[in-house]
Amino acid sequence: MDLTEPYDAAIIGAGPAGLFCAACAAATGARVLLLEKNADPGAKLLISGSGQCNITHTGEIRDFPSHYGGHGKFLKPAFLSFTNENLKDFFRERGLPVTGDENGKLFPATRQSADVLNVLLRECRKNNVDLRCGEPVTGVMRKPGEFLLTTPSAAYRSTALVIATGGASYQKTGSTGDGYRFAGSLGQPVTAIAPALTPLLIRPFPFAALMGISFENARFSVWRAERKIADYRGDVLFTHLGLSGPGILDASRDILPGDVVRLSFAGAMTREEFAADLSRRVQGNRSWQVGTILAGYPIPERLNRKLLALSEIPDDLKCDHFSAAQRSRLVANCTEFPLAVEALGTFSVAMATRGGVALDGVNPKTMESKLVPGLYFAGEVLDIDGDTGGYNLQAAFSTGFLAAKSIVKSVKNG
């Protein structure tokens, strides 16, 4: 038992939110304990961005809140206290420049998430963070003026407590949802959780043989009980079981089993524009095969053939004999192909968690609980899930920074 002097802050979870919060709080001399259940820290950070770690986005920081499905307003003070530019500077000043890709995603110049983790660990070491790995926190208790944390081998006291245990997806990385239990046991409201940034299982899925084909900035809409709930634009990928790709992953937070995704293969054209354009091409080339006309659109050839078959149009049908019913089926299939969502990918494949520590119970200007003084939250344990593109890591860094800043202020005030 280590029940001597209490730490100024104990942080549960050495992911990006916990590591950054610990490094920033300790930089001012605060005594910080960081407890990690895994033998090594940052397991999810290491696999982020397929190991390349898309740490943030080049966009304007004031546009960031629109990337969290209606929950981004809560993050505004955190983003303003630590912006994407601050994040770039932080890594650059520590020898790891950041570079962007054509979609505005920012990565470490080395494209190695291990380099990002190493900078964070070096910073923790330099600032004397007491990082203890292989120590799963099993319980937290509030005592007058302090918190008591227990692990299988020890107990610790601290004045402030930060829960930075992440979400509940990719559980093999250590994020098993413990933080929700800790928050709940301290009286903090937690909302229902579900997988986010997750692929869709489509059944029946007529394009399984075309897995790997992707569509840049495709139009699609989501329908529930025959009513459209939203329109989207984004990159879509055929998998062997259904749909994935950044556009689908981002939309998945709004999608439920039983919904229908209507996907367009006609690029920027609407259904009406495509119908008019197809008519024009058919009128002007009456002796051509319909398949040849379709090949004039930027639709992959294998998909063209499939769309003709699904529209009950023989391969060798000439435009002369192209009936109104066939044309209407083809237009519908090319612009609003209906794909029924049987299920969403589970927590084992979801890249983020929807739901978590309820935002109305947390002060957005400090990350401190409105109900339990001295209790703070950072990162994905909050009811925050960002779009693909670096938005989840920026949220982890910004909320970690703001929690650290608030803790340091309250330590100084005494």
Ligand X SMILES: Cc1cc2nc3c(=O)[nH]c(=O)nc-3n(C[C@H](O)[C@H](O)[C@H](O)COP(=O)(O)OP(=O)(O)OC[C@H]3O[C@@H](n4cnc5c(N)ncnc54)[C@H](O)[C@@H]3O)c2cc1C
Task: Please report, as ranges, the residues that interact with ligand X according to CB under 6 A.
Answer: 12-18, 35-38, 43-45, 47-49, 53-54, 136-137, 164-166, 169-170, 174-175, 178, 351-352, 379-380, 390-393, 396
Terminal-residue alpha carbon distance, the chain? 26
* CA 286/CA 318 separation, integer angstroms: 7
As measured in angstroms, the least distance from the Cβ of 321 to ligand X is 50
Residue showing tokens 């029946």:
204
* CA 203/CA 241 separation, integer angstroms: 8
* CA 237/CA 247 separation, integer angstroms: 9
For ligand X, the closer of residues 157 and 219 by Cβ is: 157
As measured in angstroms, the least distance from the Cβ of 109 to ligand X is 15
As measured in angstroms, the least distance from the Cβ of 133 to ligand X is 9
For ligand X, the closer of residues 164 and 294 by Cβ is: 164
As measured in angstroms, the least distance from the Cβ of 112 to ligand X is 13
For ligand X, the closer of residues 22 and 294 by Cβ is: 22
**375 C-beta neighbours (distance < 10 Å), count:** 25
DSSP label of 50: G
- Write the burial class of residue 249 (CB in 10 Å: 0-12 exposed, 13-18 middle, 19+ buried): buried
For ligand X, the closer of residues 183 and 263 by Cβ is: 183
For ligand X, the closer of residues 53 and 313 by Cβ is: 53
**153 C-beta neighbours (distance < 10 Å), count:** 11
Q: Which residues contact residue 19 at a Cβ distance below 8 angstroms, ignoring those fewer than 6 apart?
A: 34, 41, 42, 117, 120, 121, 123, 124, 400
As measured in angstroms, the least distance from the Cβ of 139 to ligand X is 9
DSSP label of 337: E
For ligand X, the closer of residues 251 and 393 by Cβ is: 393
Could you tell me where the beta strands, DSSP code E, fall in 71-163? 98-100, 105-108, 130-132, 139-143, 146-150, 155-163
As measured in angstroms, the least distance from the Cβ of 53 to ligand X is 6
As measured in angstroms, the least distance from the Cβ of 81 to ligand X is 17
For ligand X, the closer of residues 15 and 242 by Cβ is: 15
Residue showing tokens 């299988």:
152
**What are the C-alpha distances in Å from 333 to residues 242, 248, 313?**
16, 19, 12
For ligand X, the closer of residues 232 and 391 by Cβ is: 391
As measured in angstroms, the least distance from the Cβ of 22 to ligand X is 11
* CA 96/CA 139 separation, integer angstroms: 37
